[in-house]
Structure 1
Amino acid sequence: MLSLFLPASCAQILVTCAYKSLCQQALLSGNDVVLQCDHLQAYWYFSSFQGEAPFLVSSLPNIKKLPGGSLQLNKPQPSQTGLYRCEDNNTALVVEYEIDFQDVTMLHITHKGLGQNPLQNQSLSLGRKEIIFTHWEPWQDCNRCGVPGERKRLGYCYIQESLENPVPCWLYLGDEKLWSSRLQPEMQVEACLVPCNHSKEIIQPFFTFDISKLGQSTSNMQLTCPLASIYR
């Protein structure tokens, strides 16, 4: 029998944007996310960058509108990269997001303690002197305290033209038929040692998943953590 003990709280990232504004964000596919829209009668529309007309997202099985108006995406895929527009019941804009769901299966992982290096900047041959680079997020908390542990940070693929603001790679490329091994997100890991701060510790309940029979037809098995998130 195999038992998995998992925290009961579900981790998902909340993306926010100012009222009537357009915000760009790069995220990783396969990890739950909520796009904020504070309007009880919100209508969400989606359009990719393949030239299709915007349509109500109620037709997508892994997307759900929350009671307060925000939009929850369960394990979004790279194909769901595009524009998410929230309107009120009078078709007036509340907020809109351009989201690049970068392929988590292409994640380039390095460990500083092993002398592994992240991806280097690279030029892109589209005629506008573009540079592909990794935009790094801050280091996340150490996963243990009082003993040696590890921490990670996520990096997203961005493209920048000379004198222009950088843009997440697949928002920039749109329907451009281009492939490069440099067009991938990153994760960097390093060792850490931090003291314990018991005043900030949170005790969470745990679920137990019991599996009494494991498949015998294959030699490989994949275990998933259904309540986990790469963002923490």
Structure 2
Amino acid sequence: MEMVILTVLLQLPVLCGTTSAGYLEGDTFECRSDAPCRVPIASDNTFTLKCGNQSENASVYWQYVDTSNTHTRPVTFLQSSGSLRSEEDDLDYHLQMKIKSLASRSSLNSGHLKILSPKVEDTGLYICKAGWGIPARYEVDVQDVTTLHITHAGLRQNPLSSSAMDVGNENTVEIYTVWSQWQACDRCGAQGERKKVGFCYAEISRDALLVSRPQPCGLLRTTFRDVQINHPVELRIEMCQEDCKQDPSTRKQESLIELVENIHTYQLMDAVLTCPRSSIYRPVYWEHDSSPITRLQILTSTSSYTLDNSTGGGTLYIHQLDGTTAGTYHCYMERNLVKSFQVMFPEVKKEEEEKGFTIMELILVVLGVCLFSYMIFSLCQVLRTIRPRVIP
């Protein structure tokens, strides 16, 4: 029974049409069914919801339903044309602030909704309307990535195990992780790392019979409000090696974004390097000059580096810079060079020249003071030798 349930769960994201749409769109989901697709999302990672196949001239607008409140109606927060009618007058203050925050981080691309830096509070029902139809609906569960649980197979660390609890009325809730597919190896022709993301799913059963279909944990809490679930998003990492033989004509030229940034700093200072449009859903890795920086290397040695968890390593922290950690850093996204950073200190020669010039100035000032003092002393001596004339 457990294996059957797990197989169904692993197919859920596929039914929603999870696809990759390049750096600018983040992770993209497409709902191909009439019923709402249930989509787990990692907070702080941009994602896009497709609006299906609407006509070119159709006016598209998106509505949000706060499923944490049973009395909430759909509220329009974004539309493709025309002025957005204010619907905030009859909303409570908390929902007003939530809608404003959501709208400020949302944009439309050909009618598809892109949300930047999603928050746990963005969990809810998203409805796309085009003309008189509803091409797509999504039940989105934004799960907190700040509590991300990371395990590395190279260290023989195990993912979280499933758990079960009694929630009363002879109901039992089972909580476990549903994993995405392994991402591609982050580099070619050498040993690298690959990762996959796991989301919290739960189901409620009574006497071994399902009461609720398996669903992301945040969505289950909106139905069973008394259920307390503490099961974080997971990131699983393992070593890999791929030849990556690919026809150059099939390479995604639009994703090649090479920038160079010069970072002037000082020794023993920290530096923060961020790979543009990095995402927990995409392979990313760093190089210092020609040496790779891996998560395993950081975990197994006293390293000057730290990788962030929220984007799965899209931000590199360099602690207490010295001569060995200065130099050129390269960031690769989906095996393409995206950005380079030149971390450098002020030139030593220039400092020495400035230091010598300052000493010379000091010597001249001291000599000048000494000369002036000698002149004053000499004048005083002369005045003492002159006796006043006495007039009879």
- TM bracket (short chain): 0.7 to 0.9
Match of 1:81 among 119, 123, 126: 123
Q: How has the CA–CA distance of structure 1 residues 221 and 145 changed in structure 2, closer, same or farther, with 3 Å as cutoff?
A: closer
- Say whether the 8 Å CA contact 2:167–2:227 is kept in structure 1: no
Which residue is equivalent to 1:70? Answer: 112
Alpha-carbon distance between aligned partners in 2 of 1:34 and 1:10, rounded to the nearest angstrom: 10
Match of 1:227 among 252, 273, 277: 277
- Say whether the 8 Å CA contact 1:107–1:185 is kept in structure 2: yes
Which residue is equivalent to 1:57? Answer: 77
C-alpha deviation, 1:104, in angstroms: 1.2
Task: Kindly tell me the number of residue pairs found equivalent between the two proteins.
Answer: 221
Which residue is equivalent to 2:24? Answer: 10
Please say if 1:191 is aligned against 2:239.
yes
- Looking at both structures, which has the greater relative contact order when contacts are Cα pairs under 8 Å and sequence separation is at least 6? 1
- Say whether the 8 Å CA contact 2:68–2:124 is kept in structure 1: no
Question: For residues 138-161 of structure 1, what are the alpha-carbon distances to aligned partners after superposition, in whole Å with 9 as ceiling and x for unaligned?
Answer: 111111222111111110000012
C-alpha deviation, 1:94, in angstroms: 2.1
Which residue is equivalent to 1:3? Answer: none
Which residue is equivalent to 1:27? Answer: 41
Question: For residues 81-125 of structure 1, what are the alpha-carbon distances to aligned partners after superposition, in whole Å with 9 as ceiling and x for unaligned?
Answer: 1100112333x4221000111111111100011011111101134
In structure 1, stretches of 5+ residues that fail to align are: 1-7
- Say whether the 8 Å CA contact 1:11–1:227 is kept in structure 2: no
C-alpha deviation, 1:224, in angstroms: 2.9
Match of 1:102 among 131, 143, 146: 143
Please say if 1:137 is aligned against 2:180.
yes
C-alpha deviation, 1:225, in angstroms: 2.5
Which residue is equivalent to 1:116? Answer: 157
- Say whether the 8 Å CA contact 2:63–2:126 is kept in structure 1: yes
Which residue is equivalent to 1:174? Answer: 222
C-alpha deviation, 1:11, in angstroms: 5.6
In structure 2, stretches of 5+ residues that fail to align are: 1-21, 79-99, 283-392
Alpha-carbon distance between aligned partners in 1 of 2:270 and 2:218, rounded to the nearest angstrom: 33
The alignment's C-alpha RMSD in Å is 2.6
User: Aligned residues: percent identity?
Assistant: 32
Alpha-carbon distance between aligned partners in 1 of 2:23 and 2:218, rounded to the nearest angstrom: 31
Which residue is equivalent to 1:4? Answer: none
TM-score w.r.t. the length of structure 2 is: 0.51
Q: Which has a greater percent of helix?
A: 2
Structure of greater Rg: 2
Alpha-carbon distance between aligned partners in 1 of 2:140 and 2:131, rounded to the nearest angstrom: 23
TM-score w.r.t. the length of structure 1 is: 0.84
Please say if 1:205 is aligned against 2:256.
yes
Q: How has the CA–CA distance of structure 1 residues 167 and 212 changed in structure 2, closer, same or farther, with 3 Å as cutoff?
A: same
C-alpha deviation, 1:33, in angstroms: 1.0
Which residue is equivalent to 2:363? Answer: none
Question: For residues 42-86 of structure 1, what are the alpha-carbon distances to aligned partners after superposition, in whole Å with 9 as ceiling and x for unaligned?
Answer: 2210012222332112341001122x2211111111110110011
Alpha-carbon distance between aligned partners in 2 of 1:103 and 1:215, rounded to the nearest angstrom: 35
Alpha-carbon distance between aligned partners in 1 of 2:135 and 2:244, rounded to the nearest angstrom: 43
- Say whether the 8 Å CA contact 1:24–1:98 is kept in structure 2: yes
The one-letter code matched in structure 1 to 2:120 is P
Q: How has the CA–CA distance of structure 1 residues 213 and 174 changed in structure 2, closer, same or farther, with 3 Å as cutoff?
A: farther
Match of 2:62 among 41, 44, 52: 44
Which residue is equivalent to 1:5? Answer: none
